[in-house]
């Protein structure tokens, strides 16, 4: 019998699932899809005929997910690197292929273990692969499953275990659902799966009631500026004066009592050494109004050192700086510059020349400490956590997402920022060039936001919060410890299953071999042919 059509059908289904994966994230917010899509992927991997085929399913899923989820990179490459759409799409496909290696590795490794252990290990390997993807080289944390739950019950795990812990819980629910589906005629399995899912949600609900931070000092009156300056104008030397005037007008229009004014990333698209008079005038205004200014501006530190930085003006005090530490590859720095520099500068002259910042990740504001990040850094929990470890009582981010046009990029980064607030239980204020400029409460609720692609300012009051969550104190170590524990359980179950030890833990009820999981290994196909797929999913197959 030829089973090639079944394999083609499974490949098509996994590609479709991957293409739908971004719908679970902002701006679509269909978080339930994370459970359904990931559960179905786990189900197919469990039925796959070999680790190699399981890895192939993981790769196809990841490739489709990242092609559809970070398509907006092609906008930048086309509009500003002057690539034609085909070449820009090829570059996105190359990035997607790299990112797809991680789910491929996760699914291939999980398939190597005995069937009874896979349901434990699939979630562990999946989320750990995301953890590696965010750390290897510069890291790329987009579309990690934990972010889908920022508005759901499972976000209760965030201050304890971070977004990877939230992801582990989400993948665990998906795995339990897939396990129940694979043994759909066994009442005991359904009972245990439902009990496990309810337990995961119950613990999350309890975890969400715990508060590790508390108000400190008086509320802070803040003003966030959104200049809405097109990229085509921002770096045009003939438009510099108009851009500076635009922001100065927003600054001096600040309501009385404003204590902190935050401008977007590179809001002043000119080195500080070129506008000493303007800076002095802003210092005088700051001293008169008792308002602190945080201005996104590239810093010329001399000796060939240039920083993407935030300059703090606090009256006539010496200028303070936060220099971006985690730079964007091929935008702010070029990996292997001697090899790749000529190619990058051919498309984008002058890019890749920033120096990674060092030093403190906090700036003082009226007796409080602001945990600083610039653009890309807000997507990395480890970068935001640096400021909290240093004592930050609130978070500040300045960004410019005009590069990505009218795409989902801004909404995705706002969702990541919400997770940072949840993890740290600190308010987060974000000033962006074209949006989404917003104020996020420690509970993850967006208190206020400006419409995208609008010019204006957002005035708000935030309450600084002292104290540290378990995540702030320990980072990802609790998540890693929990993952190790689950891995050991799965590993021992695999050894017992292969050694014929029989059942001993709840998931052994009925034996995975009883319901088609290993039929695929015997017959050598990944999924039933399309004409019987839905029937097999909904009812137990009586005969092979």
Q: Which residues are catalytic?
A: 265, 324, 375
Residue 368 main-chain phi, psi, to 5 deg = -110, 170
Vertex 173, ends 171 and 174: CA angle to 5°? 60
- Is residue 323 helix, strand or coil? strand
Are 376 and 134 in contact, with CB atoms under 8 Å apart?
A: no
CA–CA separation, 528 and 536 (whole Å): 8
377 to each of 108, 244, 308, 370, 529, how far by Cα in Å? 31, 25, 12, 15, 46
**Closest listed residue to residue 241, CA positions, set 275, 214, 213:** 275
191 to each of 77, 353, 493, how far by Cα in Å? 51, 59, 20
CA–CA separation, 216 and 209 (whole Å): 20
Between the two ends of the chain, the Cα-to-Cα distance in Å is 13
Could you give the strand order of the β-sheet that contains 368-374, starting from the edge strand earlier in sequence? 362-365, 368-374, 394-399, 428-432, 438-440, 446-449
Are 478 and 161 in contact, with CB atoms under 8 Å apart?
A: yes
Largest CA distance in the chain: 85
């Amino acid at each position: 019998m030829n089973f090639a059509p079944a394999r083609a059908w499974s490949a098509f289904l996994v590609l479709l699932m991957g293409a739908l994966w971004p719908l679970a994230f902002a701006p679509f917010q269909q978080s339930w899809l994370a459970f359904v899509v990931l559960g179905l992927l786990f189900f197919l991997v469990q039925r796959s005929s070999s680790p190699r085929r399981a890895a192939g399913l993981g790769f196809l899923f990841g490739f489709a997910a990242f092609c559809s989820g970070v398509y907006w990179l092609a906008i930048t490459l086309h509009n500003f690197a002057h690539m034609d759409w085909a070449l820009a799409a090829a570059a996105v496909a190359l990035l997607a292929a790299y990112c797809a290696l991680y789910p491929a590795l996760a699914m291939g490794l999980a398939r190597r273990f005995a069937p009874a252990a896979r349901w434990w290990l699939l979630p562990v390997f999946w989320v750990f692969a995301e953890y590696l993807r965010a750390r290897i080289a510069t890291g790329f944390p987009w579309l990690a499953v934990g972010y889908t739950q920022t508005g759901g019950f499972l976000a209760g795990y965030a201050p304890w275990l971070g977004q990877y812990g939230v992801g582990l819980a989400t993948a665990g629910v998906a795995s339990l659902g897939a396990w129940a589906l694979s043994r759909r005629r066994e009442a005991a399995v359904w009972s245990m799966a439902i009990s496990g899912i309810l337990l995961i949600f119950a613990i999350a609900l309890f975890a969400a009631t715990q508060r590790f931070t508390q108000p400190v000092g008086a509320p802070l009156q803040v003003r966030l500026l959104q200049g809405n300056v097109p990229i085509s104008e921002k770096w045009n030397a003939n438009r510099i004066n108009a851009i500076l005037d635009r922001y100065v007008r927003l600054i001096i229009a600040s309501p009385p009592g404003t204590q902190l004014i935050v401008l977007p990333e590179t809001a002043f698209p000119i080195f500080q050494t070129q506008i000493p008079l303007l800076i002095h005038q802003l210092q005088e205004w700051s001293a008169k109004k008792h308002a602190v200014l945080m201005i996104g501006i590239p810093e010329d530190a001399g000796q060939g050192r240039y920083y993407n930085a935030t300059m703090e003006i606090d009256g006539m005090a010496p200028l303070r700086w936060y220099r971006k530490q985690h730079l964007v590859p091929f935008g702010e720095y070029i990996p292997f510059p001697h090899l790749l520099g000529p190619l990058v500068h051919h498309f984008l002259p002058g890019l890749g020349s920033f120096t990674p910042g060092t030093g403190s990740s906090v700036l003082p504001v009226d007796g409080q400490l602001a945990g600083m990040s610039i653009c890309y850094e807000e997507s990395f929990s480890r970068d935001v956590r640096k400021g909290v470890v240093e004592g930050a009582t609130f978070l500040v981010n300045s960004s410019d997402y005009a590069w990505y046009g009218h795409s989902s990029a801004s909404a995705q980064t706002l969702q990541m920022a919400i997770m940072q607030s949840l993890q740290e239980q600190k308010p987060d204020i974000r000033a962006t060039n074209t949006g989404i400029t917003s104020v996020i409460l420690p509970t993850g609720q967006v208190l206020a936001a400006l419409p995208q692609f609008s010019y204006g300012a957002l005035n708000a009051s935030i309450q600084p919060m002292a104290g540290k969550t378990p995540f702030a104190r320990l980072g990802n170590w609790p998540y890693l410890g929990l993952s190790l524990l689950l891995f050991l359980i799965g590993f021992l179950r695999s050894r017992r299953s292969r050694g014929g030890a029989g059942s001993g833990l709840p998931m052994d009820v009925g034996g995975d071999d009883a319901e088609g999981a290993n039929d695929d290994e015997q017959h050598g196909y990944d999924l039933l042919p399309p004409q019987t797929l839905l029937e097999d999913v909904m009812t137990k197959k009586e005969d092979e």
